[in-house]
Each structure stands twice: as C-alpha cells, then as structure tokens.
Amino acid sequence: MEKPPAVITEQQTGTQSVHISWQAVEKVLVYQVTVRNLSSTIFSNRVFTTTLDLYNITPCSSFQVSISSVNALLEAGEPRDVNYSTNILSAVTAISVDYRCVTSSAVVSWAAVLGATAYRAVAVSHNGTVLSCTSSRPQCQLSNLLCDENYEVHVTAMSNNCQSTEGNSTYFQTGPCPPTDLMLYRECSSNVIVFSWSPNNFSAYYFAQAVDSTGKVMECMTTESSCFFTDTVCGRHYNFTIYGSSASVSEQCNSALSPVMNISTAPCQPTYMDTSTNCQTDVLTSNWDASNGALQYRVDAFGNRGNYSHYVCNSVTQSCNISGIQCGESLTMLITAMDDECSSSLAIGQVAQTSE
C-alpha cells in the first residue's frame, strides 16, 4: 500500500473558500481526498494534482481533511487526517480614534480583517461605563462620551457566529468638564470681585467672563482656580461664566459653559443731600439723589449741643423725615446707601441749622 502524504496544509483564501495542498508522494499520480464537517461529507473524489480549492465552505465551521495515496490498481491506502477551522478571524489592528470635542463623540477606525462581515468597537471609561458601536465597514462613531474621561477602546471582528480574539487596545482622552463649585466674593470697600472654582483633571486653562448690567465685558484667562475682577463699578449687577480648555490654545478643546453666577457690587455713594427744617413742627426733612445698587438708606443727624443728640431715619425712598429736632440746633448729616451687606456713605458737615 502507498504511504499517505507527509504534509497537508490549508489556507483560507476568502470568506467561504479554502486552498488545500499536500506533499507529493513518490510514484503516486492519484490521491483520494475526502473533506467532512461534523454532519456531512463536503467533498470526496480522486485528484490528479497535489492541490485542491474548496468553495462554499460554511463560515465559522470545522472540518476534517483526509488524503490517501492511490496505487496503480486504483486502491487507496491509509489516509492522513488533519482538522481545520474556517474563518478564524485575526485580531483587529491599527486602531485609531479621532475625538470630536464639539459633539462629544469619537470616530474609531481600524484595519479591515479578512473574512469579517461586521465589527464592534467598545469604549470603557475608568469607572466602567461602556459605550459601543457596530459597523460593516472598518469605522464607526461613539456618541455621548463623558467629559473628563480616559477611554480604552478595543475592536472585535465578527462573521456570523464567530468573532476575533481581542487584540491591542488604544486609549483616548475626552475634553474637560465645566468647572464646578463656583463661588463669588465681593469686597465692599474696593468693589473687587473674586471668582473661584474647583479645578478639574483635564483643563490646562480657564476662561472666565463677567458681563455687567450695562453690557460691559471683562475677561480673565488663568491656569489657577480663581480670577480677580478689579475694574468693577459700584451699583452694578454682574453675571459670571467660565469654561475650561485642554491642551495648548492652538489645539484647545473647550468644556461646556458653566451655569451663570451673579453678584452685585456695593451701592454707589450718594452725591448730594438737601435738608430743610420746620421749627414749628420740630421736623427735619432730607432729600437726596438715588444711588445705584441701594436697597435702602439711613440718615444720621448728629447734634452739637451738650448732650450731642443723635437722630436716625431709615427709608427705601430718597426722602426721610426726622421729628423731635430742637430749635437752634446745628446738625451734621450723614446719608448712607445700603444693600444686604455693603454700604456707601456721604457726610455733610453742619448743614441742617434749625432756627428758633
């Protein structure tokens, strides 16, 4: 009996085709080739070469190749058997990610894998959040990515019920989140406003902006976690916003804008005060100009007599009456504009002279 071929090799040439070859046996011109899968015979015939191309092979299937040498009497000898599986998909390679800052999405690309009919890209954040996308092409888009995250991405090739082994992963970083823990502090005497926040992981710069009630814009760029706004004006309302930016300014990816924070500067100081007296009614009447930012006013009148009397009147308008003033008393007037925390005062020396 003739010996079987010593070496049999198989190579997948397409999604459903396999090329089988074997080492020639001396003085053998014909070979009996049988190919079987788990349930049936795929091919069984005599071959006069040392190669065979099989087509319409079921994807993701295993089969056995048996080759026997046939002698001059057309008798087949003992076969050489080898097992083979189709569509063993290679691991996906050359994975790259193009992160889109504006849309918080990323386009994942990779090298095509022979025999793959679909692909699945999976991105996992450091806290375990999973996002995925599928495609029949070597590219797909991941959406709804979280800010301030490092994602690990791997891609699996698929064909029917088969999928590739996991290959190399790649990593990408998303843009920064808006700064949090926003705080505003105003200094009453100087009207300086301090805007502060908690820094985040991926912001290299912060861009803060203040817009006052007249539309004037002030800006601050910093690598720190606070900005000092010194060019402020009394009695104005200010809206503050901030966003973070990653990388260099030329390659920056900006975070979303923070919620609006607002604060007002201290009320402006009144510029004048007019006081008149009526000795018959012992009433002193004061009028003054409105102060921007004032919620209420306080009028203090200090007498010059022996007991150094002190009179007080509070008002939410620009007028105030003080009763019980003694005739012939010279008074020093003080008008103070106030809001909830700050105040600004104007002192007028000895202008309220009552008469006998």
Same domain, 254 and 278: no
Q: What are phi and psi of 251, to 5 degrees?
A: -120, 25
pLDDT value for 226: 96
Structural domain of 294: 273-353
What tokens appear for 136 in the block?
A: 């029949």
| Residue 205's CATH number | 2.60.40.10
Tell me, yes or no, whether 31 lies in a domain.
Answer: yes
- 173, 206, 239: which is the final residue of a domain? 173
Tell me the residue ranges of DSSP E strands in 258-342. 261-264, 273-278, 283-288, 296-303, 310-315, 319-323, 330-338
Same domain, 278 and 251: no
pLDDT value for 249: 47
pLDDT value for 1: 66
Same domain, 168 and 200: no
Handedness of CA 87, 93, 94, 97 (dihedral sign): positive
142 within 8 A of 170, measured Cβ to Cβ: no
Same domain, 277 and 346: yes
Tell me, yes or no, whether 1 lies in a domain.
Answer: no
| DSSP conformational letter for 268 | P
pLDDT value for 250: 46
Tell me, yes or no, whether 299 lies in a domain.
Answer: yes
What CA–CA distance (Å, rounded) separates 109 from 41? 40
Tell me, yes or no, whether 90 lies in a domain.
Answer: no
Same domain, 191 and 254: yes
Distance of CA 41 to the CA centre of its chain: 57
pLDDT value for 296: 94
Same domain, 68 and 46: yes
What CA–CA distance (Å, rounded) separates 134 from 156? 10
Structural domains counted in the chain: 4
pLDDT value for 67: 92
Tell me, yes or no, whether 63 lies in a domain.
Answer: yes
pLDDT value for 150: 92
Q: Is 137 helix (H, G, I), strand (E, B) or coil?
A: coil
pLDDT value for 200: 85
pLDDT value for 353: 61
Same domain, 156 and 221: no
Same domain, 35 and 73: yes
**pTM exceeds 0.85, yes or no:** no
User: Cα–Cα distances in Å, from 332 out to 74, 80, 207, 319, 352?
Assistant: 135, 121, 49, 17, 7
Tell me, yes or no, whether 111 lies in a domain.
Answer: yes
Tell me, yes or no, whether 3 lies in a domain.
Answer: no
Tell me, yes or no, whether 291 lies in a domain.
Answer: yes
The 10 Å Cβ neighbour count of residue 224 is 11
pLDDT value for 229: 97
Q: pLDDT tens for the chain, 356 residues: list them.
A: 678 888 889 888 876 788 999 999 988 899 999 999 877 888 999 999 999 998 888 777 788 999 999 988 888 889 999 988 876 788 899 999 999 988 899 999 999 998 788 999 999 998 899 999 999 999 999 999 999 999 999 999 988 778 887 788 999 999 899 999 999 999 998 899 999 999 887 898 999 999 999 999 999 999 999 999 999 999 999 999 999 998 654 467 899 999 999 999 999 988 888 888 887 888 889 999 999 999 999 999 888 766 678 889 999 999 999 988 877 778 888 899 999 888 887 777 656 566 55
Same domain, 304 and 343: yes
230 within 8 A of 218, measured Cβ to Cβ: no
What CA–CA distance (Å, rounded) separates 17 from 206? 59
Same domain, 191 and 169: no
What CA–CA distance (Å, rounded) separates 290 from 268? 9
Kindly provide the b/e burial profile for residues 104-117, where b requires at least 16 CB atoms within 10 angstroms of the residue's own CB.
Answer: bbbebebeebebbe
167 within 8 A of 93, measured Cβ to Cβ: yes
- 41, 66, 85: which is the final residue of a domain? 85
Nearest in space to 270 (alpha carbons), one of 344, 196, 164: 344
Same domain, 278 and 248: no
Same domain, 12 and 79: yes
25 within 8 A of 49, measured Cβ to Cβ: no
